[in-house]
Structure 1
């Protein structure tokens, strides 16, 4: 069997990034996430902690029942322009049951800020969260959140040395690691990426921190561009002495791929905190 890949200069970039348009029933997902997250908060204690002065610079911390094994950080997606921590609380369950403290930050959104500003905000969020739980750190992020956690382990990371040294593994789920194509999509009317920022914020052109362990996890049923982006980061960083892998998860779409984070025994939870 021959496995071939060909890119095209005439790609429809709006379609490549239109995840909801290609998943039946996706319009109902934000309401479902909000309901499930609110129900989860009724039975699990959540501490809200400020990590900056801005109204969105807040994170939720969920502690396990006993002493934590370490800190697991999950950064949500939404193309850097949508959502906040309140929709994702229930995705902490898998890691929490496995005795990890879980931090879920909100962050400032475009167009009020640039993507480079959001990267710096997540750096502040992680630095604040690590003061709340001892032990190793695991990072995970979905979609735009995958971009943000990958940026935490680039050589130009905003994290201080004492924080980056505790990061044992980073899981970028359906992450965006090559931002140049976004300049060709309608999304850029909000993101306002220019050539310089797109390059500076693309993890694929950066060297990873020494000793980096990264898994780029992506659903097999996702848009072709998301498969390309995950494979690209693993290939690029694997050539720069990182322990990098790409895992294509069955036929999952861009949204079902994160559902396993709710299950402490799922393969994706094991990749996150195993």
Structure 2
């Protein structure tokens, strides 16, 4: 099933991030090590359950002060790998800046279809919205960030009609629930994923692609601005995905900032979120701390 200018082998190569970065395992091991260190040194509520499955859990790192803004982070892994425990290391810099962090877990393929995975993220955010007053966060200031598949899921969550989905949510629920989104190495058009080797596990069909491709569904304006970032050394398809999505958002007059993280590949791009001098960390910090619109 060729796609655009690619034959099957070429398309598969565009989305095979592990093959493009032979030492990817060292990055994953580093995430796990730094995350374990973060959990040892920060206050954290571990494994808060938003559903019955063991993967329907989130970890919450409170800020030093109550009523803090919140960054909810969604991990990558092509919807089929990794875990929230790999990404606790995104919390320390934000907590030090007075921002609480929630790291979301979710069920994975092939046990779950993409529709159920997206539903998990919405369930986690609805749970967070309900529980933030007791956890010490401000539910009027929830921001999202995600990497790779997590970037896709963050963009999908930004499209949600929250009052229609969860009419039982308390308080003055905004249409967007989240105030801003950062997608790192995100995937916004699922058609090439459906046509690639990844679909052997994901089993995407055409209706699911149509329903869950952010390219086809703009975020609610109330979801706030989007910050899109891609590593300069990532594949041409990742750059195309970001450029096309940014153009679609701009055409609809939706606030969006797109950046290239020079010299970074798929696995080092997300590390910029945990580096104090990186433009990505600074951009997300500005987004979260900007005055309310």
- The residue correspondences of 1:224-239 to structure 2 (distance < 5 A) are 224-239=236-251
Q: Identify, as 1 or 2, the structure richer in helix.
A: 2
1:145 partnered with 2:153: no
**1:21 aligned residue (9, 19, 22):** 19
Distance 1:164 1:256 in 2: 34
Q: Give distance in 2, aligned partners of 1:125 and 1:270.
A: 26
Instruction: Indicate the SS of the match to 1:252.
Output: coil
Higher alpha-carbon deviation: 153-162 or 70-79: 153-162
Structural mapping, 1:2-81, within 5 Å: 8-10=5-7, 12-48=10-46, 49-81=48-80
| Alignment deviations for residues 117-152 of structure 1 (CA, whole Å, 9 cap, x no partner) | 111110011111233221411110000000001011
Query: Which runs of 5 or more residues in structure 1 are unaligned?
Result: 1-6
Which string of whole-angstrom CA distances, capped at 9 and with x for unpartnered residues, describes residues 226-270 of structure 1?
A: 111111111112112211232111121111111122234432122
Task: Find 2:263's aligned residue among 228, 251, 260.
Answer: 251
How far residue 14 of structure 1 moved from its aligned partner, in angstroms, is 1.3
- Alignment-derived partner of residue 113 in structure 1: 112
Instruction: For 2:65 and 2:239, locate their aligned partners in 1 and report how far apart those are by CA, in whole Å.
Output: 38
* Distance in 2 of aligned mates of 1:16 and 1:248: 18
Q: CA RMSD in A?
A: 1.9
Aligned residues: 268
2:285 maps to which residue? 273
Query: Of residues 194, 197, 210 in structure 2, which corresponds to 1:199?
Result: 210
Change (3 A) 1:54 1:266: same
- For residue 155 of structure 1, report the CA deviation from its aligned partner: 5.3
The corresponding residue for 2:231 is 219
1:20 and 1:189 map into 2 onto residues whose CA distance is 17
Asked whether the 8 Å contact 1:124–1:159 carries over to 2, the reply is no
Q: Which runs of 5+ in 2 are unaligned?
A: 287-293
- Paired with 1:173 and 1:59, the residues of 2 have a C-alpha distance of 20
- The superposition leaves residues 133-190 of structure 1 with CA deviations (integer Å, 9 ceiling, x where unpaired) of 2141111000000000101111556566815445221001000110000122111011
Q: TM-score, normalised by structure 1?
A: 0.91
Contact 1:94 1:265 in 2 (8 A): no
Structure 1 273/137 Cα, relative in aligned 2: closer, same or farther at 3 Å? farther
**TM-score computed with the length of structure 2 as normaliser:** 0.86
Trace 1:178-197 onto structure 2 (pairs within 5 A): 178-197=189-208
